[in-house]
Amino acid sequence: MRTRLKVTAAEAATLTTIGLFLGSVYRSELAGRIRCGVLGPDGQRAWRAERKRAITAVSSSRWAGAITRTVEDQYQLGMRSLTAQVTNPRAAISVLEPRCALRPGELAPVDHDDAGTKRPSRRQRGYRNKAERFVKTRRLAALRERLVTAERTLAAGCPSITVGGKRFWRNRNNLDAAELSEQQWREQWDSCRMFFTADGESGRTGGNETIRVDGDGHLRIKTPSDLVGELGSHVVIAAPVRFSFRGEEWAARVAARQAVRYDLSYDSIRGRWYIDASWTITPEPMCELAELRTTRVLGVDLNVDDLTCCILDASGNPIGRPTNIELPTVEMSASRRDGRVRAAITALLDHAQVAGCGAVVVENLGFADDNQERLACRQVGAWRRQLVKLLSV
């Protein structure tokens, strides 16, 4: 949840001082973590314990825990992105290589197995002309070079991470194109590089001892050790904090001393401070299939351009007339098709809720394999997979 902080000029200056100081500590620790490279579980625990003791001396134990945890999460995210930079070129190379090896318009030879039987796989065909093949070979060479660099970086365990965003950093040398002055860019850059994150802790007052918002909305922030002499042990914001969305759930957690995480951020364009509250939600247990069979369900029949749904009683008998939900997706882009399918799912769920149905039952198309499904009805099969996937979320 997010809400705006109404702060005075003095309070805003204090928050900026704390955010910039913690941001410098965070960036220093992130650079040190990248230099360590890939660490095993024992190495990660040893590194975090060592750095937490060092950061505690300049901030506090709770700020140190939040910084080291965020640093490790950011490093692992960078490694996953680096892995994708290796996986995606490999997939592209595997597609380009066979076709570039053929002359324009040439068909690949028939593939046979060890027994001499022809394999039913699809035969590759060369590109249409020399010009297209030339462009594809250039693309293949560029991908191979990029893959070598990415593999070398991945093996070293040193992802490239820019706190604040590499794209925004590049705007520094293109201020005219970004329509920013140097001062505007600097303010936005500094605001993006602040660190103001505090994990919650169950059993503590308000669910968080570092950034605490009590039941009356009073915000109190623990000051890092190096700034205590200048700002005091805690910074208190006079204006109360109010969460409109899910405010009752947040108030219940605060009263029960359950963990709540808070993130502070500054929007330099609007000149506003914001606070985000978040926590882990424990999912409710799933209903048993036998229990769902005792209630009404909404049966869904999949067609090419619409979804037909009907309310069924516990015995499977229809109640009332079927309802059609239009789903026109012919000649649409992938993003528009996805939006149409999501809108249809929303309509299904709304119809099931109004009718008092306990579950949504989707037609089983009964295709034996993907090839048969593609031959029978590619579009309806794709819709069913997407429909079941989104409904399961």
Task: Specify the pTM.
Answer: 0.74
pLDDT tier at 108, thresholds 50, 70, 90:
confident
- Does the pLDDT of residue 373 top 80, yes or no? no
Cα angle value 75/81/87 (rounded, 5°):
140
Please, what is the average pLDDT of the chain? Answer: 86
Token look-up 């040193």 returns: 158
- Does the pLDDT of residue 273 top 70, yes or no? yes
- Asked if 101 and 57 touch (Cβ cutoff 8 Å), the reply is no
pLDDT tier at 374, thresholds 50, 70, 90:
very low
Q: What tens digit of pLDDT does each residue of 285-333 get?
A: 877 877 877 888 888 887 777 888 899 888 888 888 888 888 877 777 8
pLDDT of residue 113: 56
| Separation of alpha carbons 335 and 23, rounded Å | 37
- Does the pLDDT of residue 352 top 90, yes or no? no
Q: What tens digit of pLDDT does each residue of 43-71 get?
A: 999 999 999 999 999 988 999 999 999 99
| Separation of alpha carbons 193 and 199, rounded Å | 18
| Separation of alpha carbons 381 and 303, rounded Å | 10
pLDDT of residue 375: 43
pLDDT of residue 381: 52
- Asked if 277 and 260 touch (Cβ cutoff 8 Å), the reply is yes
pLDDT of residue 326: 84
| Separation of alpha carbons 382 and 373, rounded Å | 9
- Of 35-39, 203-207, 264-268, 364-368, give the lowest mean pLDDT range: 364-368
- Asked if 202 and 259 touch (Cβ cutoff 8 Å), the reply is yes
Q: Identify the structural domains of the chain with CATH numbers, from first to last.
A: 289-392 (3.30.420.10)
What is the share, in percent, of the chain residues with pLDDT greater than 70?
Answer: 90
Mean pLDDT of 123-151: 92
pLDDT of residue 348: 85
pLDDT of residue 376: 42
Backbone φ, ψ for residue 237 (5° rounding):
-95, 125
- Does the pLDDT of residue 251 top 50, yes or no? yes
Token pair of 163 as six digits: 């706190």
List CB contacts of 287: < 8 A, sequence separation 6 or more.
Answer: 358, 359
pLDDT of residue 23: 95
